[in-house]
Amino acid sequence: MFTGIVTDVGHIKSIRKDAITTFCIGTSYDVTHIDIGASIACSGACLTVTEKGRDESGNWFAVQASEETLRCTNLGTWAEGTPVNLERALRVGDELGGHIVSGHVDGVGKILSVASEGESIRYRFEAPSDIARFIAPKGSITIEGVSLTVNDVAGREFDVNIIPHTKSVTTLGDKKAGDPVNLEVDVLARYTARLTEKESYDA
């Protein structure tokens, strides 16, 4: 479980493509305090640490992504040097500064436009049709692992604004129109929609 508050921006050091894809991610985290098997949200996708270490360029950890993960996220577009938003799993007693985030990406959206509005930046996105109904004005959404508030919604399109701080401590400031982004809808919206469905189910 996560909050959507990014605590480090790492980068892809290397990629191994065998029976499963392994990403080695450079980080400023102290990896001596990260257990093998720990969960880390990597640009919104919850991945399991399988290796860790330190070399001449600094600390790193490795995670693996199945074909299903690659299919449902934008991780297949990662290359050496790609920046990655990182968040370690929530611990009991931690401040819940964003919203409840599972790290299970619901789909890949696309940036339609990026525009400055004073000191903030407004992004317009297009969501996949199967998750668009879970996105509501003033609701929460996770984009590339970042907890954000939805401004406006029109069909499959929606807007968010980011402040200068968010731009400086996440990868969103470097995103441009046409880029794919990992989306996770608010879990409360998903369960509310499920409970209000008019389908009948057999006991």
In the numeric block, which tokens belong to residue 127? Answer: 């969501």
Kind plus residue range of the DSSP H or E element containing 168: helix 164-169
Per residue in 113-167, pLDDT (tens digit) is 999 999 999 999 999 999 999 999 999 999 999 999 999 999 999 999 999 999 9
Q: Return d(Cα 1, Cα 147) in angstroms, integer.
A: 13
158 vs 128: CA distance, rounded Å: 11
8-88: in CATH 2.40.30.20? yes
Name residues of the chain where pLDDT drops below 50.
Answer: 200-203
Please list the residue range(s) of the chain that carry CATH number 2.40.30.20.
8-88, 107-194
pTM summary value: 0.92
Q: What is the pLDDT of residue 198?
A: 58
CATH topology of domain 107-194: Elongation Factor Tu (Ef-tu); domain 3 (2.40.30)
